[in-house]
Structure 1
Amino acid sequence: MISKLDLYKVFCMVGKSGSFSKTAKDLYMTQPAVSQAIMQLEKELDTRLFNRTPKGVSLTNEGSHLFEYVNSAINLIDAGEEKILEFKNLTAGELKIGVGDTISRYFLLPYLEAFHNKYPNIKFKIENGTTLEICSLLKSGEVDITICNFPIDDPTLELRPCIDIHDTFVCGEKYKNIVSKPLSLHELVKLPLIFLEPKSNSRQYVEDYILSRGIKMSPEFELGSHDLLLEFAKINLGIACVTKEFSQDYLNKGLLYEVQLIEEIPKRNIGVCFLKSVPLSPSSTKFVEIIEKRLA
């Protein structure tokens, strides 16, 4: 059975051409099928839409009014289909990424550049926040993917680990002699500690590990960014817990010194995260592919 939308498409073609036979040829239909479609539409609307003459057909007054609306609607549908094709071919669209400031600076930027060079018409929308915050944005549909600190314990999310990272402690010149030999966790927590704020996934991971050894800690400073951790440690305000891979510039220049621990904190990951229940958009799929290909 022909659908209502197909009936309107036939109506629109006949209205433009003024001919059942030409419409039949353009739509690869028989002329009786076109005539039957118009009759069905007229019956459903209880209105005559065309004047039939030996030379062809012409729109009635009612048909002319209907044609204006139908023609506009068909054009909008065609435009929408073209836009979907653009999205699939990555010639238009938007990629929404949730990510923390530190991961943006030290991990994400090269992949954004590579993707933009390959697909320059895709717009980026970057939402910053903690792992917990950006995962909430992911679940609410406000971002397509997140790039964040693992581990994450959430069965609704697909996790794709990308790189290993290591949590370590660093200090400035003032504490260089104190940490000249490996420290135990008990010795470490007696020093003035500088940590990220409690809601940070990185902070929780390290704190949970220390607590699992039966040791409680009480930081002197709780900060909102990784860069501030490095700067506070550099001016000798305490021992900062940082991501080693994101602190190499300070360590290589001798601005900070790494504190050696007798018992090292287990490594963890940074990775891509998205909803299991929602298929990735074409732009998200390509972006994840670029990351995984470069890392491989």
Structure 2
Amino acid sequence: MSVSYEYYRIFYYVAKYQSFTKAANILLNGQPNITRCMNNLEHELGCRLFLRTNRGVTLTPEGEKLYAHVAVAYEQIRAGEEELSTDKTLQSGILSIGTSETALYGLLLEKLRSFHMTYPGIRLRISNQSTPQALSALKNGMVDIAVVTTPTGAHKPLHETPLKSFREVLIGGPQFAFLAEKSFHLHELTQYPFICLGKDTMTYAFYNRLFLQHGLPLQPDTETATTDQILLLVKNDLGIGFLPENMAEEALAHGDVFQIFLKDVIPERSICLVEDTDRPLNIAAGRFRSVLLDSGCRPSGSL
């Protein structure tokens, strides 16, 4: 049996208000058409649903049974429509993002602040993870998008879009301040303790490849879980390490650390957006994606 949804919608209002006239007024429809639709519904279901009197209508026992189900279904549908309506206007919704620490501080916080001020009704769920962890969460549907740093190692159906380029600088603490007096090749610094993110990060993969290009093994004396820890350890003279320029600025300005200049070029990296092309974005995530892509800070070339 295939009964029109419109018939059930009309039935809901007639039964709720026990009046064809009131239902017609609410639905902005003519009473004769309302009556015709209910006659058709009774015919299709093979039973009487209403008892018609001069005062209005009442439900038959069969009508009561049907209304108990239709009322729940219709009110759930209406609630869903209202929820979608508020989502469309971005008055509500959830935005889930997996992000690496460098991407969080280098771009994402600024964009989230602007987005949250414009759409305060959107709830934010931010997972601070390594790039591989963020991409794994994206593949598993645990986050809507990932904002991470290159290299990402993303493969189809994941798609990577560069957003902002950044450079990293080599820094040392007070004990290594003498290294700031001249420029060095990488191979000249291997005698000093080196601090780096752990092997499960793409930053480690980036520097491992860089060192190999210069014929050097990457053998960090200390591996950390976060970029903040690199800065803290460098400040306390546990070694030298690379840090994104913007994250090192304040410590450099205060003289807590010193930049060690290199003759070898350290390639630029990028903060990028990664999406799962097999999975459509919800309304909130789609809007935030537009905010990221309209940021005007993307590099001119692709990675």
Range of TM-score over shorter length: 0.7 to 0.9
Structure 1 segments (4+ residues) deviating >6 Å: none
Do the aligned residues in 2 keep the contact of 1:102 with 1:225 (CA within 8 Å)? no
Structure 1 window deviating more from structure 2 (16-25 vs 114-123): it is 16-25
Q: Secondary structure of 2:192's partner?
A: coil
Q: In structure 1, what residue type is equivalent to 2:283?
A: P
Matched residue, 1:111 = 111
CA offsets, 1:165-185, max 9 Å, x none? Answer: 113321122223245332222
Change over 3 Å in CA distance of 1:45–1:189 after alignment to 2 = farther
Is 1:144–2:158 an aligned residue pair?
Answer: no
Change over 3 Å in CA distance of 1:230–1:54 after alignment to 2 = closer
Matched residue, 1:238 = 239
Structure 1 window deviating more from structure 2 (9-18 vs 254-263): it is 9-18
Matched residue, 1:206 = 207
Matched residue, 1:38 = 38
Structure 1 window deviating more from structure 2 (197-206 vs 270-279): it is 270-279
Q: In structure 1, what residue type is equivalent to 2:65?
A: H
Q: 2:191 and 2:199 mapped to 1: Cα distance?
A: 19
Q: CA deviation at 1:164?
A: 0.9
Matched residue, 2:300 = none
CA offsets, 1:74-95, max 9 Å, x none? Answer: 1221111011010010111111
Q: CA deviation at 1:34?
A: 4.2
Q: 1:52 and 1:118 mapped to 2: Cα distance?
A: 53
Q: In structure 1, what residue type is equivalent to 2:139?
A: K
Percentage identity across paired residues of the two chains: 31
TM-score (norm 1): 0.88
Q: 1:178 and 1:258 mapped to 2: Cα distance?
A: 8
Is 1:9–2:9 an aligned residue pair?
Answer: yes
Is 1:281–2:290 an aligned residue pair?
Answer: no
Q: CA deviation at 1:20?
A: 4.7
Change over 3 Å in CA distance of 1:17–1:178 after alignment to 2 = closer
CA offsets, 1:189-209, max 9 Å, x none? Answer: 332111011111112111112
CA offsets, 1:139-192, max 9 Å, x none? Answer: 222111221112323222232322111133211222232453322222233321
Q: Secondary structure of 1:198's partner?
A: coil
Structure 1 window deviating more from structure 2 (35-44 vs 24-33): it is 24-33
Q: CA deviation at 1:226?
A: 1.0
Q: 1:206 and 1:72 mapped to 2: Cα distance?
A: 59
Structure 1 window deviating more from structure 2 (240-249 vs 97-106): it is 97-106
Q: 1:179 and 1:192 mapped to 2: Cα distance?
A: 16
Q: Secondary structure of 1:92's partner?
A: coil
Matched residue, 2:170 = 169
Q: CA deviation at 1:229?
A: 0.8
TM-score (norm 2): 0.86
Q: CA deviation at 1:266?
A: 0.7
Matched residue, 1:264 = 265
Matched residue, 2:191 = 190
Do the aligned residues in 2 keep the contact of 1:99 with 1:128 (CA within 8 Å)? yes
Do the aligned residues in 2 keep the contact of 1:166 with 1:268 (CA within 8 Å)? yes
Matched residue, 1:131 = 131
Q: 1:143 and 1:168 mapped to 2: Cα distance?
A: 31
CA offsets, 1:4-41, max 9 Å, x none? Answer: 42221122233235455665565466666545543444
Q: 1:207 and 1:58 mapped to 2: Cα distance?
A: 79
Do the aligned residues in 1 keep the contact of 2:15 with 2:59 (CA within 8 Å)? yes
Gaps of 5+ in 2: 298-303
Do the aligned residues in 1 keep the contact of 2:207 with 2:218 (CA within 8 Å)? no
Is 1:227–2:228 an aligned residue pair?
Answer: yes
Matched residue, 2:75 = 75
Is 1:84–2:84 an aligned residue pair?
Answer: yes
Do the aligned residues in 2 keep the contact of 1:191 with 1:238 (CA within 8 Å)? yes
Matched residue, 2:181 = 180
Number of aligned residue pairs: give it: 296
Do the aligned residues in 2 keep the contact of 1:189 with 1:217 (CA within 8 Å)? no
